[in-house]
Each structure stands twice: as C-alpha cells, then as structure tokens.
A and B are shown apart, each in its own frame.
Chain A
Amino acid sequence: MATTQSVNESIGKGYAALGRLGQKRMISIGVLIAVLVAFSIIVAVQHGFTLFLQRIFDGLSNGFIYAAMAMALVLIYKATTVVNFAQGEMAMFGTFIAYVFGHSLGIPTPLAIILAMLASALGAAGIERVLIRPFDPRNHLAVTIVTLGLFLILNSLAGVIWAYDNRAFPSPFPGRNRSFSVLGANLEWANLFTWLTVLAAVLLVSLLLSRTKIGLAFRSVSNSLESSELLGIHIGRTLQFGWALAAAVGTLAGTMIARTTLLEPNFMGRVLIYSFAAATLGGLDSLGGAVVAGIVIGLVQTMSGGYIGFIGSDLAPTVALVVIVAVLLVRPSGLFGSKRVERV
C-alpha cells in the first residue's frame, strides 16, 4: 500500500511540474503580449493611428520573411541540433540562381523562383552528403564549424561569380508597385502576396512533416537518433532531406525579400540576424514558434526603429541581438521550445 501511495504522490508531483511549466510559458507569452499592446496604444495615440497601421504593415512584410528564414534554421536545428550559420548564404546563393534563371534565361520570375528552390534543395543535399555526413551527427561543434566555413565559401563564391554590385530583383507578383489603402495606410499588393506565399510555404512544410513517410522519419530522427537507427531509419538520408527542405524554404525567403533590398552577395546578412533572433525567441525546435516569433521580430524591428528616435534603422539589428540575449537569459527554451517534463 505504501508504495502505491508514493507512486501516486510522485505522479501527482509530475503533473504539478507539467502544470507549472505550462504556466511559466503562458506568463512569458502574456508578458510579451502586454508589453507589445501597451507600446502600440501609446505610439498609436501619440503619433496617429494611420502611421501605426503603416508600421504594422511594414513590420509584417519583414516579419514573414524572418518567419520563413527562421523556419529554415529550425528545420536544420531540429534534425541536427546545430545552428546552420550558412543558412543565409545558401538563401543568397539560391536567390542568385533565381536571378540567373529569370534575368539571363528569360524564365518568368515565379517559375524561376520555383526552379531555384529545387536547385537549392539539390545543392543542399549535395552539401550534406559531402561536407556534413562524414561527421558524426553527435559531434555538434565540428558540424557548426563546417557551417561557418560554408558561410565563407558561399559568400566569396557568389562574389567571384556575380561581383558585389547591387542588382534589382524583379517582383514575382502581379500589380507592380501598385498598392491599396486600408484605413489610410498603404499596403502594396506585392507585400500581401508575400505574406500569403510564406503562409502557404509554412502550411506545405507542416503537411510534409506530418503526413508523409519521410516527414515521419524526420520527426523521429529529430526526436532520437538512437531509436531511429533501431527502427531501421536511414539517418543520413533523413538529415539530407532536412537540409534540402531548409534550403528550398530559405531560397523562397531570399527571393521574397530581394525585391525590396536589392541583390548582392551580402544581402542576407541582416535578414539572418533577425531570423536568428526569431528562431531563438520561438524556441529553436518549434516550427510554429519560429513563424510566430519571426512576425513578432519583424514588428519589433519596425516599431522600435520607427518610433524610438535614437534606434532608427542603424541600431535596429542591435534590437535583434538584445532579443537573443534576453531570451537566452530569461527563457532559454524560447516561447514555444520543448523543455517537456517526461514521466518515467
């Protein structure tokens, strides 16, 4: 009887711990929402609602790009527990490929982007096979260093091939430069299409992971390498799939933002910093978290740069760094990351 009682007690404690964990997460999310809402009300009253709405639109347009890039980072992190520092440069390279397809070969831009996504996926699969697979997936430091090297290689390679000139990247969407008015604020059609494209990509990736066999293998490998091996899952091929998928998503993000930033070998640098912040805030291993946090970071960047005088556009990347440090200090597992209590 005594053992039953103690077992019941420990089960009770386990549930209590689970409850506290959820509570802490809700508190973090609640505090974040409260701060954002308070800030919004203050600036909307002080500077007018139209400007505020305009900033929201601008923030969302950046935010969806960060969301897509953060999703690419999370895909690789989930599979390998390694942050792929070359993710931005891979996206840059993919965007150049789309540029070549569109500009030099005359393929219509939307098709050029899809082809470039396929090319990036193939390229990333090759990179995984040649540069990543020779290393033990449990050796995180080695793989991280390799991604740093890859960053430099891709960046210089793009510089050699395409030089460091700014190039205009054509918009893939209809309604060039046309916009419509929402309560006095301007929203470009192209921006709206960008949001929808990223949302569609998020939906597609989550369906791919939840409904397909390779998706099941991917989730299994990200959960436990050893168990996956015992189930006969090919680890290397599954990680390769993760790299390919992440590269395709990254190229999509690159081509979506190149329209507004101009294309040159360093153009993804800033985007990557914000996406790192988003991935960290979202919890690094949560796809949904990355998307939500990407949008939040986009909004925070635009709002802080737009309303807080001394930050402007020059100090805005610092805001991203502040977010990264703050999250790592206060909630290392991010808003949605897993730090699940397991019963044994």
Chain B
Amino acid sequence: MLHVDGLHASYGPIEVLHGVDFHVEVGEVVVILGANGAGKTTTLRAICQMIDTKGSIQLGGETINGRSTTEIARRGVAHVPQGRGTLTDLSVEDNLLAGAYTRKDGEVRADIDRWFTTFPRLQERRHQHAGSLSGGEQQMLAVARALMSRPKLLLLDEPSLGLAPLIVKSLFAQFAQMNQTDGLTILVVEQNANIALDIADRAYVLEAGQTVLTGTADQLRHDDAVRKAYLGY
C-alpha cells in the first residue's frame, strides 16, 4: 500500500532524513521505533508532503511526491499528528464532522455514534469546545476524527505521548481491534516500544534519519540492541 524508498527530507537547509526505506502492506500494523530526534515525526510529515522531500513515496502504486497535503488526505491517508491537531475552537462533534469532510455518503451520523460508543467520554463532551478536553480525551478525539474519514491508511504520531499508562493501554487495544475487525492498515511511530510492538506485525528502527533495522515485531523484541535501547531491559 505504502512504499517509501530512499526518502530524504529537510526543514529549510537542514536535512533530517538521509535515506529512509520501508513499506506497509494492506491490513498490516507497522511500527517505526526511534529515539527523540531520530526523524519519526518527520517521516510521517514527509508522507503527507508537509515538508520538502526527495526519494520515492508510493501510495497504492502511485507516486505522491509533490502532491498537496489536502490531496493525499483525500486519497485515504488519515494522519493523527503529534500534538493531536485538535480544532480547539470547534465542538467535539464538529471536530468529528470535520473529519468526515471528504465523505459524501449518508453514514456520517452512524459513524459518529460508533465512535461515541467506543469513546463514551467524547459523547459526554460532544458540545464542549475541543480545546477544553484533557490530553487523553484529545487523543481519543484525534483518533476518532481521523477514522471518521474512513481512511485506507492511518498514520499515528506517538499516540502514547503525555498520556497515563492506563489510557495508553486502552488506546492501543482499540488500534489492535480496528486492525483486526475493520482491516485497517496502520503505520505508527512510537518511543514506547513495548506497547507498540505488542500490536505490530512488523517494525523498523530509525536512527539519525536512517532506517537501520527491520524485522517482524517478534524478531525486534528479541534483538539485543533493540532491547537495550528501546525496551529497557
């Protein structure tokens, strides 16, 4: 579904990615691990063409370099950015409606009800300004909003950041379930390697802007270097 080869990306004159290669197949959960500053967020931003890139990014066999962010979103890529991208002045419900902006079918309401059932906290706060939600609630909203577009590919940028361990656990359980029951393809970048590897099929390790290691989730979990650097034992 997504094939990235020799990806270079830069912020102005400073190159941050120096050759990132990975691929995500339909129905997979793929995780990219890496420390702070390894280029995880940049990789996701590069996929959505939010920064200048070199190298090839193919979505469903088509090169998407140079397309606009809006157009890539319209091709079925939903990106939950770091900081969650909450539309703070809009109500919770309007955030979800904005998530369904590209859809033309009549099932938007039904989908909103579905995510309200999944995240009852959001239903309680449906008319509240989204900016007044707690961090965990905003993360739920960001995920629900991304899924309102019925994406082909979900990009998650450190969904565990700043959240209490219990919330992180239930959020990742949700991701796993969406992957299994809806066949949703997910690419997640995380520092929290333990929980990410639990739901992943395959994983990549990103160091200083390059992919340095790849394998199945199990292989990486038992790799000595990964264990020391990211799993902490």
A223 and B79: CB pair below 8 A? no
Cβ 8 A contact of A223, one of B50, B78, B81, B89 = B89
Judge if B149 is at the interface, Cβ distance under 8 Å.
Answer: yes
B81 and A220: CB pair below 8 A? no
Interface residues of A in 230-265 (CB under 8 A from B): 230-235
B89 and A232: CB pair below 8 A? no
Judge if B120 is at the interface, Cβ distance under 8 Å.
Answer: no
Please measure, in the bound complex, the distance between the C-alpha atom of A217 and the C-alpha atom of B85, giving whole angstroms: 15
A217 and B101: CB pair below 8 A? yes
For the complex formed, measure the closest distance between the CB of B115 and the CB atoms of chain A, giving whole angstroms: 15
Judge if B134 is at the interface, Cβ distance under 8 Å.
Answer: yes
Cβ 8 A contact of A231, one of B68, B71, B101 = B101
Decide yes or no: A338 and B70 within 8 Å by CB, A232-B102, A233-B98 being known contacts: no
Judge if B135 is at the interface, Cβ distance under 8 Å.
Answer: yes
A231 and B99: CB pair below 8 A? yes
Cβ 8 A contact of A224, one of B87, B94, B135, B145 = B87
A-contacting 9-mer, from B125-133, B181-189, B200-208, B222-230? B125-133
Judge if B176 is at the interface, Cβ distance under 8 Å.
Answer: no
B89 and A219: CB pair below 8 A? yes
Judge if B90 is at the interface, Cβ distance under 8 Å.
Answer: yes
Interface residues of A in 316-344 (CB under 8 A from B): 338, 340, 342-344
Please measure, in the bound complex, the distance between the C-alpha atom of A230 and the C-alpha atom of B85, giving whole angstroms: 9
Judge if A229 is at the interface, Cβ distance under 8 Å.
Answer: yes
Residues on the A chain within 8 Å of B129, using CB: 340
Residues on the B chain within 8 Å of A235, using CB: 70
Decide yes or no: A344 and B69 within 8 Å by CB, A223-B88, A226-B81, A232-B74 being known contacts: no
Cβ 8 A contact of B85, one of A216, A224, A234, A338 = A224
For the complex formed, measure the closest distance between the CB of A22 and the CB atoms of chain B, giving whole angstroms: 12
A229 and B70: CB pair below 8 A? yes
Residues on the B chain within 8 Å of A179, using CB: none
Q: Which residue of B lies closest to A15 (CB)?
A: B132
B131 and A227: CB pair below 8 A? no
Cβ 8 A contact of B133, one of A213, A228, A229, A343 = A343
For the complex formed, measure the closest distance between the CB of A280 and the CB atoms of chain B, giving whole angstroms: 20
Please measure, in the bound complex, the distance between the C-alpha atom of A11 and the C-alpha atom of B134, giving whole angstroms: 9
Please measure, in the bound complex, the distance between the C-alpha atom of A339 and the C-alpha atom of B89, giving whole angstroms: 11
Judge if B1 is at the interface, Cβ distance under 8 Å.
Answer: no
Judge if B162 is at the interface, Cβ distance under 8 Å.
Answer: yes
For the complex formed, measure the closest distance between the CB of B102 and the CB atoms of chain A, giving whole angstroms: 4
Decide yes or no: A343 and B101 within 8 Å by CB, A216-B94, A227-B85, A232-B70 being known contacts: no
For the complex formed, measure the closest distance between the CB of A210 and the CB atoms of chain B, giving whole angstroms: 9
Please measure, in the bound complex, the distance between the C-alpha atom of A13 and the C-alpha atom of B233, giving whole angstroms: 37
Decide yes or no: A216 and B97 within 8 Å by CB, A232-B102, A232-B149, A344-B135 being known contacts: yes
Q: Which residue of B lies closest to A233 (CB)?
A: B101
Interface residues of B in 83-109 (CB under 8 A from A): 85-90, 94, 97-99, 101-102
Residues on the A chain within 8 Å of B78, using CB: 230
Q: Which residue of A lies closest to B87 (CB)?
A: A223
Cβ 8 A contact of A227, one of B87, B102, B149 = B87
Q: Which residue of B lies closest to A341 (CB)?
A: B131
Residues on the B chain within 8 Å of A227, using CB: 81, 85-87
Residues on the B chain within 8 Å of A343, using CB: 131-135
Residues on the A chain within 8 Å of B145, using CB: 231
B79 and A230: CB pair below 8 A? yes
For the complex formed, measure the closest distance between the CB of A214 and the CB atoms of chain B, giving whole angstroms: 10
Residues on the A chain within 8 Å of B131, using CB: 340, 342-343
Interface residues of A in 140-178 (CB under 8 A from B): none
For the complex formed, measure the closest distance between the CB of A271 and the CB atoms of chain B, giving whole angstroms: 29
For the complex formed, measure the closest distance between the CB of B228 and the CB atoms of chain A, giving whole angstroms: 26
Residues on the A chain within 8 Å of B134, using CB: 11, 343
Judge if B73 is at the interface, Cβ distance under 8 Å.
Answer: yes
Q: Which residue of B lies closest to A236 (CB)?
A: B70
Q: Mark B42-63, 1 if CB is under 8 A from A, else 0.
A: 0000001010000000000000
Q: Which residue of A lies closest to B162 (CB)?
A: A344
B88 and A342: CB pair below 8 A? yes
Decide yes or no: A231 and B98 within 8 Å by CB, A343-B134, A343-B135 being known contacts: yes
Please measure, in the bound complex, the distance between the C-alpha atom of A11 and the C-alpha atom of B102, giving whole angstroms: 36
Which A residues are closer than 8 A to B by beta carbons? 11, 213, 216-217, 219-220, 222-224, 226-235, 338, 340, 342-344
Q: Jot down 25 A-B pairs with beta carbons below 8 A, ordered by A.
A: A213-B101, A216-B98, A216-B101, A217-B98, A217-B101, A219-B87, A223-B89, A224-B87, A226-B50, A226-B85, A227-B86, A228-B87, A228-B98, A229-B69, A229-B70, A229-B73, A230-B81, A231-B99, A232-B71, A232-B73, A235-B70, A340-B129, A342-B88, A343-B131, A343-B134
Which B residues are closer than 8 A to A by beta carbons? 48, 50, 68-71, 73-74, 78-79, 81, 85-90, 94, 97-99, 101-102, 129, 131-135, 145, 149, 162
Q: A217-B101, A343-B132, A343-B135 are in contact. List 5 more A-B contacts (CB 8 A).
A: A216-B94, A219-B89, A228-B98, A230-B81, A231-B99
- 9 tightest Cβ-Cβ pairs between the two chains A and B: A232-B73, A227-B85, A229-B69, A232-B102, A232-B74, A223-B87, A342-B131, A220-B98, A223-B89
